Copies of this chain bind each other. A is one copy, B any other.
């Protein structure tokens, strides 16, 4: 019988630029009974803040394109400039909703740029420059045997209301479990055959977090079968290639 548990980790303070997130994480984990093969998820906001992935809007000079878009979408032109700076491609801009492909390849609202939870008014928080590298660095700094580390963000969905957390960075976790072409014990081809493990882990972790409690870190135990000794391909493996995108 397969089973797992998820719990939010207490004792993580508000993170600021320059904070040693790995040390803070290691200290919080040291106070817990964490089994080998566990998965540690961390909300990207904590990673972004520690890495200084923050933009002071007062220092942003909006381009003509940002000003035109801002006027059209009724948004702050400086914020639009930050969104454009983070974007490889703007997919949709309608009714105040901007959907962009980020420089990393993530398709999400506002290219992952957020003005709430940035720690100070007039400041925007952006995604880490390389969330897979962030996950690998955090993993390397933790005790041996290192748990898997997943960096999460909340993404909206094209055809469904609400947000679910997805993996934007990962180390030591099988991001996808590929059963395509395999059959079960009775020779019947398996139906859900390409499980996005890292995204399901991120979604599960978010349920263990009380929304008003500022608990960026969740520990998941019981999913050792997806934890790997190598850091592996990371969450980048979850990104669909541009030429497979039917909805650009």
Residues of chain A at the chain B interface (Cβ within 8 Å): 1-8, 10, 45, 92, 94, 97, 99, 101, 106-107, 114, 116-117, 119, 154, 157-166, 175-177, 179, 182, 184-185, 188-197, 199-201, 203-204, 206-215, 223, 237-240, 245-247
A191 touching B4 by the CB < 8 A rule? no
A191 with B116: CB separation less than 8 A: yes
Q: Other CB < 8 Å A-B pairs besides A117-B190, A161-B239, 15 of them?
A: A2-B209, A2-B210, A4-B7, A5-B5, A5-B6, A92-B247, A154-B195, A161-B238, A162-B194, A163-B193, A179-B211, A182-B212, A190-B211, A192-B211, A200-B207
Q: Is the CB of A191 within 8 A of B159?
A: no
Asked if B158 and A246 make an inter-chain contact with CB atoms under 8 angstroms apart, the answer reads: yes
Tell me whether A188 and B117 are in contact (CB under 8 A).
yes
A245–B158 alpha-carbon span in the complex (Å): 7
Q: How far is the CA of A239 from the CA of B10 in the complex (A)?
A: 35
B207 touches A201 (CB 8 A): yes
Q: How far is the CB of A211 from chain B (nearest CB, A)?
A: 5
Q: Is there contact, CB below 8 Å, between A116 and B195?
A: no
The docked-state distance in angstroms from the alpha carbon of A8 to that of B3 is 6
Residues of B within 8 A of A211 (CB): 177, 179, 190, 192-193, 195
A74 shortest CB reach to chain B, Å: 17
The contact sample of 10 A-B pairs, CB cut-off 8 A, is: A2-B208, A3-B7, A3-B8, A4-B7, A106-B159, A162-B196, A163-B192, A199-B203, A203-B204, A207-B223
